[in-house]
Amino acid sequence: PASVGVLLQIDNARKQFGGVVAVNDVSFDVQAREIVALIGPNGAGKSTTFNLITGVLRPTGGSISILGNKFGHARPQQVAKLGISRTFQHVKLVPDMTVLENVAIGAHLRGRAGALASMFRLDRTDEARLLAEAARQIERVGLGDQIDALAGSLSLGQQRIVEIARALCVDPMLLLLDEPAAGLRHMEKQQLAALLRQLRDGGMSVLLVEHDMGFVMDLADRVVVLDFGTKIAEGTPDAIKTNPEVIKAYLGA
Ligand code: ADP
Ligand code: MG
């Protein structure tokens, strides 16, 4: 049974693609108010694990519990409804639209079919509410001065933060981030890390997949390490840095 602080519990999650075991009975959890990093060499099963959590992929085995609601296969809509929101590995903003429009539309689109059509069916009150919420989240992430700028005119670091603002519109308790630091400059990484700490300190949890070791070790409260689909270690950044199994996996034995 989940204790009060457990937001997400992954229990023996398994995913096979034909003969390939991409995720091999992996278990870990994410508690309230914590930043957890999922790391591992290429092909370790990180993206597949993310897709099992968000319901994009159907697990071969195991279960996923969100706030104590246990699923064999949670559908993306259910996952979103229970308070898990995500960003994607590659920036998905519309460059010719403003920051406000991108956040408002993105928030409305989440997990809906016929998204654009339904945007046009919004009545004025709904539209006003959506824009107000989008503006609030843009302020919250510190991009208030860019609200009317075209998304394509922002730096990559700012675009990543716009995507986070979009993910925040559904008021999630857990944010899943897929390689948020990829391609960012040092200063941008620091700004991103500061934002994620601010969100955590405000009561949210973050689960991120990330390649950048410096970023992870500086930011995460806890690190889960996958190798060939199997969890080989879990612990604080300091413990993980010196873990012989982890070092071996990264040196590519
Ligand atoms: P990571 O994100 O850690 O780099 P992935 O989760 O993408 O790793 O992949 C884990 C393993 O599963 C790899 O061997 C990969 O080739 C395989 N895999 C991932 N997705 C598929 C798929 N849709 N079909 C077949 N094999 C896949
Ligand atoms: Mg991947």
Write the pLDDT tens digit of every residue in 102-116.
999 877 665 444 445
Please give the average per-residue pLDDT across 178-200, as a whole number.
95
Please give the average per-residue pLDDT across 126-138, as a whole number.
89
| The pLDDT value given to residue 171 | 86
Ligand 2 midpoint to CA 43 (Å) = 7
Ligand 1 midpoint to CA 39 (Å) = 14
pLDDT category of residue 91 using cuts at 50, 70 and 90: low
Q: What homologous superfamily does CATH list for 1-83+174-253?
A: P-loop containing nucleotide triphosphate hydrolases (3.40.50.300)
- The tally of CA atoms less than 13 A away on the side-chain side of residue 90 is 1
Pick the residue whose CA is nearest to atom 11 on ligand 1: 22
Pick the residue whose CA is nearest to atom 12 on ligand 1: 22
Ligand 1 test: best mutation among 17, 24, 49, 57, most atoms within 8 Å of CB?
17
Cα–Cα nearest to 211, from 80, 76, 92, 89:
89
Spell out a b/e string for 155-183, using b for 16 or more CB atoms within 10 Å of the CB, else e: eebbbbbbbbbbbbbbebbbbbbbbbbbe
Strand order in the sheet with 69-71: 20-31, 6-17, 61-66, 69-71
Is residue 19 in contact with ligand 1, taking CB distance under 6 Å? no
Q: Where are the domains of the chain?
A: 1-83+174-253, 92-171
112 vs 235: which has the higher pLDDT: 235
| The pLDDT value given to residue 129 | 84
Mean pLDDT score across all residues of the chain: 90
- The rounded percent of the chain whose pLDDT value lies above 70 is 91
Q: Report the C-alpha gap between 227 and 87 in whole angstroms.
A: 23
Is residue 40 in contact with ligand 1, taking CB distance under 6 Å? yes
Is residue 41 in contact with ligand 1, taking CB distance under 6 Å? no
pLDDT category of residue 120 using cuts at 50, 70 and 90: low
Please give the average per-residue pLDDT across 170-192, as a whole number.
94
Ligand closest in space to the Cα of 38: 1
Is residue 17 in contact with ligand 1, taking CB distance under 6 Å? yes
| In the predicted structure, residue 2 carries a pLDDT above the cut 80 | no
Please give the average per-residue pLDDT across 172-192, as a whole number.
95
Ligand 2 midpoint to CA 133 (Å) = 31
Please give the average per-residue pLDDT across 17-39, as a whole number.
97
Ligand closest in space to the Cα of 51: 1
Q: Report the C-alpha gap between 211 and 178 in whole angstroms.
A: 10
Write the pLDDT tens digit of every residue in 29-56.
999 999 999 999 989 999 999 999 999 9
Ligand 1 midpoint to CA 46 (Å) = 8
| The pLDDT value given to residue 113 | 41
Ligand 1 midpoint to CA 7 (Å) = 26
Q: Report the C-alpha gap between 56 and 50 in whole angstroms.
A: 9
